[in-house]
Copies of this chain bind each other. A is one copy, B any other.
C-alpha cells in the first residue's frame, strides 16, 4: 500500500463539527541554480500564517506561496488547487513541514476538514505527519492579532486535558527540531519551550521570563561586586537624548543614526523637536562629566549603569543576540593618566571573561580588535570572543574600549595640570565597556541539546528538582505519603544549605513526563527518591548534561550535592573548551584557510595588520575554495571570515613569516572566522 493510499485510508466521513484546516505550500527565495526546498504549512483555517514566521522558523528567505510548477516538480501533483497532504507521500525531493501550534493543541478526538471531501481525526493526522519530521510553530508569536482567535483552541485542549493527553502532548511540548540539522529553529524552540523567553508583539523585542532574568541577576551580582571593588559606582542617566546632544559627535552618531528610535509625540502633542532613545550613553553622559570634573582631584570618575538601550536594527532579529531593546551594563570612566585607564580596560576584560568562563561555563579568547573592527572613535578595543560549535562561527562576547582622549577633547572633559597652571591643561583618558544579555544566548547555544536547555549550575535559577519515583499501583497510601514526606524534607534540607532546590509532588503526571519537563527546562540535577532510596537512606542524582548518575547518602546530602553541581559546572566548561580548542586551528598558508573554515573552525593565521588585506580575506573566504559560490547561511549571505581578535596569547611567530594572505611580513597571529 503506498503512503498516499495509506493516507486516504485514514480519512473519515464528513462531520458537521469538524475544524477547517488549510495546507499551504511555500517556496523560499533560492538561487536559480539551486533546487528549492518547499515548506508545507498545516494550520487551522483561522490561523494567520505570517510568512515572516515561516521564514524565521525554517531559516529561509522570503517564502512565497508556491506556483503550480513546484507542485508538479516536487509532489507529482498538477496544480496547487488539487494538492492535499496525501501528496506528501509522493514527494520527489526534500521539503520542510510546519504544524500550527493552535492545531497541535486541539483535542486528539477533534475531527479536521482538510479539503472539501477529506476529513480526518486530529490524532491520525499528527501521526501521519510525524513521518515527515514536522516542526510545531506558534504563529501567534509574531502575529499576535491571531492570539484571541487562537485562544479558544488552547482552552479547549486544557479543558479536556487528562493524564494521557498530557503525556501525548509531551511530544509536542518537547523540542521537535534537531540542533545539528536546523540550528536556528532549534535555538528558537529551546528558548521558548524552556520558558527562557517569549516572542513579543513588537518585532525584535522579546520577553525575558524568570529563568533567563534570574541568570542575568546572577551575572549582575557577580559583576557588580567586582566593579565596586575597583571603585566604580552605579548611577542612572535618562533614556532620552536631545537630537542636538546626540549629534554632537559626528563619527559616533554616524554609526548609530540608522538605528535610532525617535519619540516625536507625547499624548496628542507633537514635540517641538524629536527626542532620541539612547542607543548607548556616551553623548548622554559626557557633557555632565565635563561639568562635574573641575579639578584633577575629581578624577578618576567611574560610573556604571544597568539599563536598556534601543537599536532599531532592520536586520533579522535573533533572541538575545540581536534585539531592538536589550539589557546591558555600560561603564564609562575618565582617568587622569593613560596608564590608569589602560589598566582598567584590561581589568574589566578579565571580569567579562570571568562572566563567561566562571559563571556561564563558556570558554573565550581574549584579545584586541583590529583597527577595522575597533570601536570607532576609540584608541583600541579589547574583546573576549566565543565559538558556537554547531555553526562553526565565532561570536563577540563583550568589549572593553580605551577611548583615549578623543571624547574628552570633544566634550572638553579637562582639568588643570596637576603640575601647575603654567602647564597645559589635561584632557581625561577615558574608557567605556559593556556586557549585554547576549551572553545568555551564547550560553544556550553552546550547552543546550535536543532535549532542551542545559544550564550551568552556578547561574541556573533552580539547581535541583526533587521527584518522588517508583510509586505504582502496588504502593500503599502510607508508603506513598512517607516517600513524599521524606522527599519534601530533602528539598527543605537542600534549601537550608542555600541550594536552589524545588520539588514536584504532583500525582497527575508520571515521573517520565516530569523528567522530560525538567530536562526541557535545563534543571542541572534531578534527584529521584523512591522506595529503594528510602530503604537505603540515599537519593539518586542525574546530571542534566550527560545523564550521569550518582547515588548520594542522605547524611552526605548537603556536602555532596554542591560538589556534584560544581563538577557539572566544570565538565560543561571543559567540554565546551575542548570543542573550542579543537576548532581553533593554526593556518599559515592561504590554500588551507577556506577549507579549514568550512570544517567549522576558527583560524589563527599570521597576518600583516593591513586593513585592505583584512577586507581581502573576508571577500576571498566568502567563496568556496574551488571558486564556486560559497553556500552561506541564509541569514549571512556570502559570509566571509572576519578578524575576531588579535589574541593576547600568541602562538610563536616564525622568523620571516609572511601574512597568510598577502606577501607582507606578518606582525602577529590573528583569529579569523565566520561570525555572528
User: Which residues in A have some Cβ–Cβ distance to B below 8 Å?
Assistant: 140, 144-145, 147-148, 151, 154-155, 157-161, 198, 200-202, 205-210, 213-214, 216-217, 233-242, 244-245, 257-269, 274-275, 277, 287-288, 290-292, 294-295, 297, 303, 307-308, 310, 312, 314, 324-325, 327, 412, 414-416, 421, 425, 461, 506
Contacts and interface: CB of A to CB of B under 8 A. Distances in A.
A265 B264 contact: yes
A444 to B, nearest CB: 16
Given A201-B245, A217-B234, A240-B205, A295 B262 contact: no
11 contacts: A144-B287, A155-B294, A160-B421, A207-B237, A239-B310, A259-B266, A259-B267, A264-B265, A267-B312, A277-B277, A297-B506
A412 B274 CA distance: 37
B257 A261 contact: no
B257 A277 contact: no
A213 B201 contact: no
Contact of A240 (B210, B237, B314, B325): B325
B261 A158 contact: no
Contact of A234 (B214, B244, B412): B214
Contacts of A202: 238, 240-242, 275
A317 B242 CA distance: 18
A1 B395 CA distance: 80
Given A210-B234, A239-B325, A242-B201, A263 B261 contact: yes
A200 B155 CA distance: 50
A198 B325 contact: no
A236 B260 contact: no
A312 B205 CA distance: 23
Contacts of A266: 259-262, 312, 314
A258 to B, nearest CB: 4
A207 B233 contact: no
Contact of A258 (B145, B205, B267): B267
Given A208-B235, A240-B325, A294-B158, A262 B265 contact: yes
A216 B269 CA distance: 33
B238 A213 contact: no
A147 B291 contact: yes
A204 to B, nearest CB: 9
Which are the 5 A-B pairs with shortest beta-carbon distances?
A266-B312, A210-B233, A205-B238, A258-B267, A208-B236
- Between A233, A262, A314, the greatest number of chain B beta carbons within 10 A of the residue's beta carbon is seen for A262
Contact of A262 (B263, B290, B414): B263
A230 B200 CA distance: 28
Contacts of A233: 210, 213-214, 461
